[in-house]
Amino acid sequence: MKTPAVEPRDQPRDFRTDEMFFSTTDSRGIITAGNGVFCRISGYPVDELIGRAHNIIRHPDMPRCAFRLVWDTLKQSRRTAALVKNLAKDGRYYWVVALFAPARDGYLSIRFKPTGPLVDVVAEVYALMLAEEERQLAAGADETAAMAASEQVLVAALRQRGFADYDTFMRALLCEELKSRDATLAREGLVVIRPLPESSADASAPSSSGDQLRSLYRRGAAAYLQLSRLFVRLDEFGALQQSLNANGSFVSNLTSELRLAATNASLASTRVGGEGLSLAVVSDYMGKASADVAGCVDALTDGIRTVSRRLRSVIFNLAAGRLQIEMTMTFLHELISASDASSARQSSPRSIRALQQAFGHSLKRAVQSLDELASGTKQLDPTSNSLGRHMLELQVAQLSGQVETTRLREVGDFTAVFAQIRELIENTREQLTGLSEAIAHLDEIASEAPIAMREIAALAADMEAEAAVLQEHALPAAAVHPKPAPGLPATGPSAEAVLEGAVAMSA
């Protein structure tokens, strides 16, 4: 690995739980914008960030593979999340939870302070991945092969912790960290929606950029509150997903269990000779019934997988949207509160619109996912009921077989076989009851949530329209930061304003 330009120090660079920051890059990863918090936490002056590759803050403890996974996902026009250890200019490190998203002409990254228990776990996994990469490179492998080997280490570590793949892990990571952050903010007495400073705008200029920012903030606050009401139900979504997965796992194993029981019944009937003819008929019927059950099981298993996948999408989109609107509001509050308000307001429309477009995209995906979820849950019920009917037919066969065994002097293995089938039937009935309850609950939420989401989406559309107007009427870049008059100190605007102004001038 290349030696970093900054010598790392094993000391954290701390920041507050309520602080958030973002940056945008072009398609090559060159920084094009960010907010003042980004400058302060990274420790870099604005002129050392704009136009530089984002890996200026890359910490040598980060494995290459972690970033390759992010880039591969972004190039597919998909969002992803990660825990990232960054390197500040003074050599200290800081961990962030980052949500990466495609944006117009590049990418957007929103970061906040992790407060959950996963940082230590991820740090250990990253160390294993990095060691594997270095081992592969030392053995003569190229970077591609080294990263492939590192990814195998990651996959194995995640599976040990119950995650099927990185995509599943990163979705769970984002949701858990947001919930942990909410709890931490509550304990620390911090809030997301903060009072705005009193306006100093001229009453004769109602269309000023300051008023537009305040209007955007008010709409954002309304959207945030409504979205938060859905977000607090994520635990319900998560519990329902676990219930679906448990039911799906049982149902998927049901076919093999029934086929084995039918085979055992058929073998047992041959051992009892002529006396077992009636039982042979019962065994044959059970074999046919188990085939009918298999068809229902396949359909139900596929349906459960589809609903579970859509449920994961709903959860992720709600979490992403909640984070994006919070970042938008945080940035708007920074701008409205900036000491050099005029410069800050005029130089930031591009970033406001980028944040707003990302939020709008997540909302559209959430509404789409909820609609698909509602459709999927409606298809599960009839399939589940059909399986229940086939299991009832199987129960009739099982009871008939038990009656027949009372007439035989030697029942052979039939007693054990019918006991096994009875247990399967009872367990299936219990699982189907649980599935029916989960479907009913999901159907309720999936029917209610889109109504609220469409109201939020309407607010988002209004915000995007206002952001477009704000960008359209922004002052030319050259007028944003006039040179100081001779003899006056060049105090300049805030770091945030300069950063945004540099973006405008480089656009």
What are the DSSP calls for 71-127, one per residue?
A: HHHHTTT--EEEEEEEE-TTS-EEEEEEEEEEETTEEEEEEE---STHHHHHHHHHH
Asked whether 95 and 119 are in contact (CB, 8 A), the reply is yes
pLDDT at 173 over 70: yes
Instruction: Find the DSSP H helices in 4-47.
Output: 36-42
Q: What pLDDT is attached to residue 411?
A: 53
- Whether residue 23 contacts residue 37, with contact meaning beta carbons closer than 8 Å, is answered with no
| The pair of three-digit structure tokens given for residue 426, joined into one six-digit string | 């009872």
Q: How confident is the model at residue 108 (pLDDT cuts 50, 70, 90)?
A: very high
User: What confidence category does residue 299 fall into, taking pLDDT thresholds of 50, 70 and 90?
Assistant: confident
pLDDT per residue over 234-284, tens digit each? 777 777 777 877 777 777 777 777 777 767 766 666 665 555 566 667 777
Residue type, 236: E
What does pLDDT average to over the chain? 81
Mean pLDDT of 183-209: 75
Helix (H) or strand (E) holding 226: helix 209-231
pLDDT tens per residue, range 115-148: 998 888 999 999 999 999 999 999 999 999 999 9
Do 342 and 407 touch, CB atoms closer than 8 A?
A: no
Give the mean model confidence (pLDDT) for residues 206-213.
Answer: 70
| The predicted structure's pLDDT at residue 506 | 32
Other Cβ atoms within 10 Å of 26 Cβ, number: 14
User: pLDDT at position 292, please?
Assistant: 76
Q: Which tokens is 372 given?
A: 């698909």
Structure tokens at 203: 């009453």
Question: Residue 285: is its pLDDT beyond 80?
Answer: no
Lowest mean pLDDT among 74-78, 195-199, 215-219: 195-199
- What pLDDT is recorded for position 43? 95
Comparing 196 with 88, the larger pLDDT belongs to: 88
Structure tokens that stand for 140 in this block? 């003569």
- At 103, phi and psi to the nearest 5? -140, 170
pLDDT for 198 beyond 50:
yes
**Average pLDDT for residues 94-122, to the nearest whole number?**
94
Between 259 and 78, name the one with better pLDDT: 78
Overall average pLDDT of the 392-415 stretch? 67
Side-chain-facing half-sphere of 249: CA atoms under 13 Å: 6
Give the residue carrying structure tokens 């990095």: 130
Token digits of residue 255: 């076919």
Computed from CA positions of residues 386, 392, 398, 400, in that sequence, does the dihedral angle turn out positive or negative? negative
Average confidence (pLDDT) over 451-458:
83
439 vs 406, higher pLDDT: 439
Q: What percent of the chain has pLDDT over 70?
A: 82
| 282-303 mean pLDDT | 76
Q: What is the pLDDT of residue 409?
A: 54
The residue to which tokens 């080294």 are assigned: 146
- The reported pLDDT for the residue numbered 270 is 66
pLDDT of residue 331: 93
Segment of 1-10, 246-255, 342-351, 427-436 carrying the highest mean pLDDT: 427-436
Q: Find residue 98's DSSP bridge partners.
A: 82, 111
Q: Enter the pTM of the model.
A: 0.80
Report the C-alpha gap between 222 and 28 in whole angstroms. 36
**What pLDDT, on the 0 to 100 scale, is given for residue 499?**
38
In this structure, the number of other CB atoms found within 10 A of the CB of residue 251 comes to 23
Could you tell me how many residues make up the chain?
507
Strand partners of residue 86? 58, 94
How much is the CA Rg of the chain, to the nearest whole Å?
30
What is the pLDDT averaged over residues 304-327?
90
Rounded distance, CA 37 to CA 365, Å?
29
Assign 407 a pLDDT band (cuts: 50, 70, 90). low
Q: How confident is the model at residue 170 (pLDDT cuts 50, 70, 90)?
A: very high
Q: Which helix (H) or strand (E) holds 23?
A: strand 20-25
* H or E segment and range at residue 373: helix 349-405
User: For residue 159, what pLDDT is reported?
Assistant: 94
Question: Binning pLDDT at 50, 70 and 90, where does residue 372 land?
Answer: confident
pLDDT number for residue 272: 58
